[in-house]
Amino acid sequence: MSFKVTILGSGAALPTAQKNPTSQYIECQNRHILIDCGEGSQMQMRKFGVKLQKISHILISHLHGDHYFGLVGLLSTMHLLGRDKGIHIYGPKELEQIIRLQLEIAGNKIGFSLEFHHIKKNQTGLLFEDKCIEIHTFPLKHKIQTNGFLIKEKEKELTLDSERFYSDKLSIQFIQYFKKGQNVTDENGSTYFYKDYTFKAMPTKSYAFCSDTAYNENIITSIKNSDVLYHEATFTEKELDRAKVTLHSTAKQAATIALKANVGKLLMGHLSARFKNDKQHLIEAKKVFENSFVVDDGDEFII
Amino acid sequence: MSFKVTILGSGAALPTAQKNPTSQYIECQNRHILIDCGEGSQMQMRKFGVKLQKISHILISHLHGDHYFGLVGLLSTMHLLGRDKGIHIYGPKELEQIIRLQLEIAGNKIGFSLEFHHIKKNQTGLLFEDKCIEIHTFPLKHKIQTNGFLIKEKEKELTLDSERFYSDKLSIQFIQYFKKGQNVTDENGSTYFYKDYTFKAMPTKSYAFCSDTAYNENIITSIKNSDVLYHEATFTEKELDRAKVTLHSTAKQAATIALKANVGKLLMGHLSARFKNDKQHLIEAKKVFENSFVVDDGDEFII
């Protein structure tokens, strides 16, 4: 379970009794990432057993309130719970101004560093990487600057053929070399070939997050072949005009992007509060892209 | 039921699964007032059946996040639901800066006017009045500027003695005069005395709100003889030192204020999340002031 998405909030701008505004918690290779943080996200974390102090990176897609009004409260709670480990926050530059202003006026010096990374309007490419994961960004098409995100695993080490390795009674020191695809020559001059002791590496997985956005084929290159794509689907085809005016997408449009980007699975969210259920969204999406789902608060997806 | 308090959030700085941060909804003589608005208050309103569009006045005691982080989300929701009626917001002057900055960056022009009324640090006296109610403020003693509030009914009209009035078959036009304590002389020169057709007016009620504050006898003159006093009680006597350092109160201190101010009933809230229950708070408060209660989210109190 090394790559998992937990939906903390699946709703649109108007929170309902069932759906909190947008927020998702991503565990990827033991990294803990929060994407968006609508009001009440910290309560949702408590409800769904998410350990908020583990979060090291927060990605904010844009500065409409339903995507970040819960951030300052989350940071305050992290402080009150004694956090001292810094946190990295990625978003439009005004986010830093808003958060720092509120913390300053409260008169509390936060006990950990807030490392803000300003994302520019049309920024495309790598935001962060370490030895296990990469986070990329790309522009979406919305009323204000909005950025999508792609979280992907880096190439993994080869998988050890344990049965053969242990039956040949080799030194366990060899494992690290074999996993990296390196042969080993021992003190007697005997060479052991990594190919004899490994299977191919587990495939690398990726998760793309697109919210909020009008239909926009420009994003396809950035999210191509993702294992899972989250794409907003505020409306159904009946409200296509409204989708165009508000720069949101319909379920069919989300599915069309999923199809053209050749992703493995489509998760739809941010359905307008006007819809009593998700039936019509699923009907319209599945006609275009069968592996479509509508997310609910508390849902978990293994990538 | 003309004066009612609904507890939307009863907790302290750290929200728990049971207790949201501070917020209270007051209905008084058909006026609808919100006091404080911690994160998630709009969701609590939905949960407890409070009609958020009815709110005309919002009072924010201070700018620690657990007392106002939910305000910008509430205002956004009011806008999305089509509100056009202006709203009056009372609080420290920086509140306006914070709210306007966030709304401006979101790029949405709010469809109703936000009338901010800046409360000064040591301001004491009338904030608002109309023909039925008055709202007063007074300073509390906390780490940053914090203001308490007193909501009181104005003198009410006399109560009509319906039985006598209708049996004497007088013109119903007379009622408005009698209720105001005025005698009426009819076209024949007969005078009818209001005292013969009325009982005395219903008593005027008042509700005082004190959060957050260290023990502070200076507030007593402002809240004297209130029917109900809400006073924070973050700690028990065991944490008296901690209460002093953090400028919060113990249950015993809250009860002492209630006793000295001669109020009718004491409601305590803002208990630190460290307490698993409210037993010790009640024991310590009741020793000083018997009519003491600890509030929970969703509680309603008729004043």
Q: Which helix (H) or strand (E) holds B5?
A: strand B3-9
Sign (positive or negative) of CA dihedral A65, A67, A70, A74: negative
pLDDT < 70: residue spans in chain B: 1
pTM equals 0.92
Q: How far is A161 from chain B (nearest CA, A)?
A: 47
Q: Is the peptide bond between B296 and the residue preceding it cis, with omega within 30 degrees of 0?
A: no
Q: By CA distance, what is B42's nearest residue in A?
A: A15
Q: What does the pLDDT look like over A87-135, one tens digit per residue?
A: 999 999 999 999 999 999 998 789 999 999 999 999 999 999 999 999 9
Is residue A40 within 8 angstroms of chain B, CB to CB? yes
Which residues of chain B does A108 touch, with a Cβ-Cβ cutoff of 8 Å? 64
Model pLDDT, residue B17: 84
A105 → closest Cβ in B14, B70, B94:
B94
Distance from CA of A40 to the nearest CA of B (A): 5
Q: Give the tens place of pLDDT for each residue, A153-180.
A: 999 999 999 999 999 999 999 999 999 9
At B102-137, the pLDDT tens digits run 999 998 789 999 999 999 999 999 999 999 999 999
Pairing of the two strands A228-232 and A206-210? parallel
d(CA A78, CA B68): 18
Question: Which domains, from first to last, does chain A contain?
Answer: 3-156+202-302 (3.60.15.10), 159-199 (no CATH)
CA distances from B94 to A69, A213, A243, B109, B221 (A): 18, 33, 36, 20, 28
Give the model's pLDDT for residue B265.
Answer: 98
Contacts of B76 in chain A (CB under 8 A): 13, 65-66, 69
B72: which 2 tokens? 């910008």
- Identify the residue among B8, B23, B39 best suited for mutation to test binding to A, counting A beta carbons within 10 A and taking the highest: B39
In B, minimum Cα distance to A62 occurs at B106
Asked if the Cβ–Cβ distance from B77 to A106 is below 8 Å, we say no
| B 148-167: CB under 8 A from A | none
Task: Tell me which residue in B13, B70, B98 faces A101 most closely, judged by beta carbons.
Answer: B98
Task: Check CB contact of A72 with chain B, cutoff 8 Å.
Answer: yes
- Looking at the complex, report in whole angstroms how far the Cα of residue B145 sits from the nearest Cα belonging to chain A: 10
> What digits encode the pLDDT tens for the residues A68-88?
999 999 999 999 999 999 999
- Which residue among B39, B63, B106 places its CB closest to the CB of A63? B106
**Predicted pLDDT of residue B57:** 98
C-alpha A192/C-alpha A184 separation (Å) is: 5
Please write the tens of the pLDDT for every residue from B136-188: 999 999 999 999 999 999 999 999 999 999 999 999 999 999 999 999 999 89
Instruction: Return the DSSP state at B84.
Output: -
What residues of chain A, 81 to 140, have a C-beta less than 8 Å from chain B? 81, 94, 97-98, 101-102, 105-108
Rounded to an integer, what distance in angstroms lies between the CA atom of residue A179 and that of residue A152?
A: 20
Q: A68 to chain B: which residues are within 8 Å by CB?
A: none
What is chain B's percent helix, strand, coil content, to nearest 5? Answer: 30, 30, 45
Q: Locate tokens 């239909």: which residue?
A: A215
pLDDT band at A16 (very low <50, low <70, confident <90, very high): confident
Q: Across the interface, do B64 and A94 touch by the CB < 8 Å criterion?
A: no
Q: Using CB atoms, which residue from A20, A70, A102 is nearest to B98?
A: A102
Query: For position B107, what pLDDT does the model report?
Result: 86
Task: Provide, as residue numbers in chain B, all residues whose Cβ is less than 8 Å from the Cβ of A94.
Answer: 105
Q: CB–CB of A40/A20 below 8 Å?
A: yes
> Quick one: what percent of chain A has pLDDT higher than 90?
94
Q: Do A94 and B72 touch (CB under 8 A)?
A: no
Phi and psi dihedrals of B265, rounded to 5?
-150, 145
Confidence band of A7 (pLDDT split at 50, 70, 90)? very high
For residue B157, give the DSSP letter: P
In angstroms, the separation between the Cα of residue B14 and the nearest Cα of chain A is: 6
CA distance B77 to chain A (A): 6
Q: A257: distance to nearest CA of chain B, Å?
A: 26
Q: How far is residue A263's CA from residue A257's CA, in Å, rounded to a whole number?
A: 9
List of chain A residues whose C-beta atoms are within 8 Å of the C-beta of residue B297:
none
pLDDT of the residue at A135: 98
Residue of A nearest to B64 (CA): A106
Query: What pLDDT sits at residue B109?
Result: 85
B72/A65 touch (CB, cutoff 8 Å), yes or no: yes
How many residues are listed for chain A in this entry? 303
* Interface A-B: count of C-beta contacts within 8 A: 101
- Nearest CA distance, A111 vs chain B (angstrom): 16
φ and ψ at residue B185, rounded to 5 degrees: -110, 125
Compare CB distances from A72 to B46, B65, B105 and report the shortest one's residue.
Answer: B65
Considering only CB atoms, which chain A residues are within 8 Å of B77? 13-15
pLDDT at A17: 84
Could you report how far apart the first and last alpha carbons of chain A are, in Å?
Answer: 8
Q: Which of A69, A81, A97 sits opposite B72 (nearest CB)?
A: A69
Catalytic residues of B: 66
User: Is the predicted pLDDT of residue A1 greater than 60, yes or no?
Assistant: no
Q: Label residue B270 left, alpha or beta by phi (over 0 means left) and psi (-120 to 50 means alpha).
A: left
A264 touches chain B (CB under 8 A): no
Distance CA B236, CA B228 (A): 21
Q: Would the CB atoms of B107 and A144 count as touching at under 8 Å?
A: yes
Q: pLDDT tens digit string along A179-209?
A: 999 999 998 999 999 999 999 998 999 999 9
A76–B65 CB contact, under 8 Å: yes
